[in-house]
Amino acid sequence: MKNISLVLGKSLLCLLLAVPALLFPDNIRVGLYESEPAIFTDASGQPAGLYIDLLDQIAGEEGWKIDYVRVTWAEGLKLLEKNEIDIVCNMGLLPERKERFSFPEVAVLNTYSRVFVKEGSSVNSLLDLKDKSVAVLEGSTHEVKFIEYSKDFNLNIRIIPVKDHETA
């Protein structure tokens, strides 16, 4: 397979990470979904990835206990909205999200999308996706941006929201 990288903008480290520890209870509930290498479950079933390492470091310094809650991306957003979890990692900043959630001021990581196609495909750029179907993570910044790109460039891309990367 070949992949095409499309820059979609900044991804922020973790929602609420910049909020002082005083606002959190002793236990922090973090949505754990599969987005390797950023955040995922390793072969032994343990949370792993860049965000996990960083959260664990901060939790150690602040005296927090982290409870990882296994979710899909879309489930994590819903639980955050209902205050059933405290943090969702790797959330892209969108205007409607900024109205509902608190974001840190400094982005630790930039993110992008990859489009995977079959070997030998003629797809080499976003414009080559005209009238094609694209699977995207449901509720993600990528879904929003692909819909925008499709409209802006009159591409008529059929967006297929999926619950996780594995399903795509």
CA distance 139 to 19: 24
User: Model's pTM, two decimal places?
Assistant: 0.62
Per-residue pLDDT of the chain in tens (168 residues, 90 and over written 9): 433 333 333 343 444 443 444 455 678 899 999 888 888 999 999 999 988 998 898 888 888 899 999 999 889 989 998 989 998 887 777 788 788 887 777 766 666 667 788 888 888 888 888 999 988 888 777 787 788 888 888 889 898 988 877 776
For the record, the structure tokens of 22 come out as 């005083």
- Per-residue pLDDT, 71: 94
Q: Could you tell me which of 160, 13, 165, 15 has the C-alpha nearest to residue 81?
A: 15
2: phi > 0 → left, psi -120 to 50 → alpha, else beta; which? beta
C-alpha distance from residue 50 to each of 13, 75, 89 (Å): 9, 21, 10
pLDDT of residue 20: 43
**Do 49 and 39 contact (CB within 8 A), yes or no?**
yes
**In the prediction, which pLDDT does 93 show?**
75
Going from the C-alpha of 64 to that of each of 22, 56, 69, 120, the distances in angstroms are 11, 9, 15, 50
pLDDT of residue 69: 96
Q: Residue 70's beta-bridge partner residues?
A: 32
Rounded to whole angstroms, the Cα distance separating 46 from 104 reads 26
